[in-house]
Amino acid sequence: MGNWQKYAAEAYGTFVLVGIGTGAILAAAVTGGGVVEISFAFGLALVAALYTVGSVSGGHFNPAVSLGMFLDKRISVTDLVGYWVSQLAGATLASLALAFIISKTAVASTVTALNSTYVDTFGGVVGEAILTGIFVMAILVMSKSTSYSKFLGIGFTLTAVHLIGLGFTGASVNPARSFGPALVGGHWVDYQVYVVGPLVGAVVAWVLYRVIVTGATAAMPDLTDATD
Closest CA to 135 of 197, 49, 214, 216: 197
* 228 within a domain of the structure (yes/no): no
Q: What's the start-to-end Cα distance of the chain, in Å?
A: 11
Q: Average pLDDT in the 183-207 region?
A: 97
Give the count of domains, the chain: 1
Average pLDDT estimate for 30-57: 97
Residues of the domain holding 94 = 3-213
pLDDT confidence tier of residue 2, bands split at 50, 70 and 90: confident
DSSP E strands, 75-169: none
pLDDT of residue 218: 57
**Amino acid occupying residue 44:** L
| Of the candidate ranges 55-59, 137-141, 167-171, 224-228, the one whose mean pLDDT is the lowest | 224-228
Answer whether residue 211 shows pLDDT above 90.
Answer: yes
Which of left, alpha, beta for 186 (phi over 0: left; psi -120 to 50: alpha)?
A: left
CATH number for the domain that contains residue 162: 1.20.1080.10
* Residue (of 76, 51, 73, 49) closest to 62 by Cα position: 49
Residue 48 within any structural domain of the chain: yes
Has residue 222 been placed in a domain?
no
- Tell me: the pLDDT tens digits for 144-154? 999 999 999 99
Residue 140 lies in a domain: yes
- Residue 228: pLDDT band (50, 70, 90) is very low
Q: How far apart are CA 119 and CA 219, in angstroms?
A: 35
Q: Which pLDDT band holds residue 216 (cuts at 50, 70, 90)?
A: confident
At residue 224, the pLDDT reads 52
Residue 225 lies in a domain: no
Side chain identity at residue 89, one-letter code: A
Question: Is 219 a member of any domain?
Answer: no
What pTM was computed for the model? 0.93
Question: Residue 35: inside a domain, yes or no?
Answer: yes
Task: Report the candidate in 99, 69, 95 with the shortest Cα–Cα distance to residue 84.
Answer: 69
Q: How far apart are CA 137 and CA 154, in angstroms?
A: 10
Domain assignment of residue 220, yes or no: no
